Chains A and B, each alone.
Chain A
């Protein structure tokens, strides 16, 4: 038992040092990510990449930048689905979209877009609701591999059944199959969905706000941050939103304890949709 205790505390030190090294050398800052989940994923990386210890990963990645993307794939989470939590998209459709119709042009930011499932869901929603032509989307992530995947918009056909079911439950007015072509076991989503999307490398941890968004959707990203980092990200959203702009969070995230809670009103409490106050 003592050996196990000692081993685990050495691992914690190694993880701390690896995260520090990634920050100092590559400016990727995972130091304030929720630690239990990072640890699980780094231990996975250790065994799958074939290293004996976290320290060995550190030594390798400091000298070999080609290892970085592979490590980022472990450190960032890429699992999502289209129209995940259909009731969220239904609330956007029924409650938020009527407000968005009143603007001459719209800017929407999908923060932490990963492989793009959320982006394409929103783009389809905006097409269905007649807002697509006046909307510019910004899709950002820290993982360049994920951004490329988001740009490509290609998903496994195995997932399409779930995506289709989610889309229907979100109140979809069209058939999801209108938006992709099947090709060798893959669903390739239509170019028209990403023609008005700016894909960009952006970190909620280290980068600045960008402006005058009408809707920011950032779901299941904040749960990976510690409280201080959550506050930074929410502050960024506050500064990036137009007055009365909307912020959508994941179903288990909230602004309840945020230092910036006062800057937002609860708009759809159950669906974690907030509205920037007017002042």
Chain B
């Protein structure tokens, strides 16, 4: 099984909307997403995307097996992890990079569980969460992508990821969509 993991922070709602609504219904990979949102709120994107996406969109549940063509969001207040048996795990461990969910936690466990069968994508954001995780994905032979910092609403997070993982491809939102369409055609 291949999987896509995406991390986004400030400015991420718009970027994710653009990408996820452009994916075709036959898209075959599971997509797991950490979007930093204030902890108390329900993730507003899940219901918004459910209406506008051609793929299934849901909040990830603990112990749930990864399903083809399903988009999973980390629930607010919980880390999202992938287990080696291709199930989802949630944890309420301490925040990482001041965040829970943290992008690094998802990406590092994705690298560990899937090695080269994972693509990690870091989108706009104003912190450096995800940089170590993207490096782990690159080191395990997976595909590392960052949103081209010059096109990101907040370039800090893609820049930090590029610094930690210099071989990552730097792509615009349209190029990311193009890449994903080919990836899971």
Contact = CB atoms under 8 A, between A and B. Distances in A.
Interface in B60-86: 61-63, 75, 77-79, 81-84
B185 to A, nearest CB: 24
Contacts of A77: 91-94
Interface in B117-157: 139-141
A37 B81 contact: yes
B159 interface: no
B115 A5 contact: yes
Given A1-B140, A40-B108, A227-B63, A35 B84 contact: yes
A41 interface: yes
Assign chain B's interface to a size class. 20 to 34
Given A1-B141, A77-B92, A252-B90, A223 B84 contact: no
A36 B75 contact: no
Contacts of A34: 81, 83, 89, 91
Contacts of B116: 1
Contacts of B115: 1, 4-5, 8
Contacts of B169: none
B16 interface: no
B112 interface: yes
A40 B75 CA distance: 19
A227 B87 CA distance: 12
Given A4-B140, A39-B112, A40-B108, A257 B63 contact: yes
Contacts of A52: none
A159 to B, nearest CB: 13
Interface residues of A, number: 24
A220 interface: yes
A179 interface: no
A71 to B, nearest CB: 16
B139 A36 contact: no
Contacts of A278: none
A267 interface: no
A220 B116 CA distance: 32
B93 A4 contact: no
A157 B79 CA distance: 26
Given A4-B140, A5-B140, A223 B112 contact: no
A5 B116 CA distance: 9
Contacts of A37: 79, 81, 89, 91, 93
Given A1-B141, A5-B140, A36 B89 contact: yes
11 contacts: A1-B115, A5-B115, A34-B83, A35-B83, A36-B109, A37-B89, A37-B91, A40-B81, A40-B105, A79-B92, A252-B75
Given A36-B113, A223-B90, 9 more contacts: A34-B91, A36-B89, A77-B94, A79-B93, A79-B95, A251-B75, A252-B61, A252-B78, A257-B63
Interface of B: 61-63, 75, 77-79, 81-84, 89-95, 105, 108-109, 112-113, 115-116, 139-141
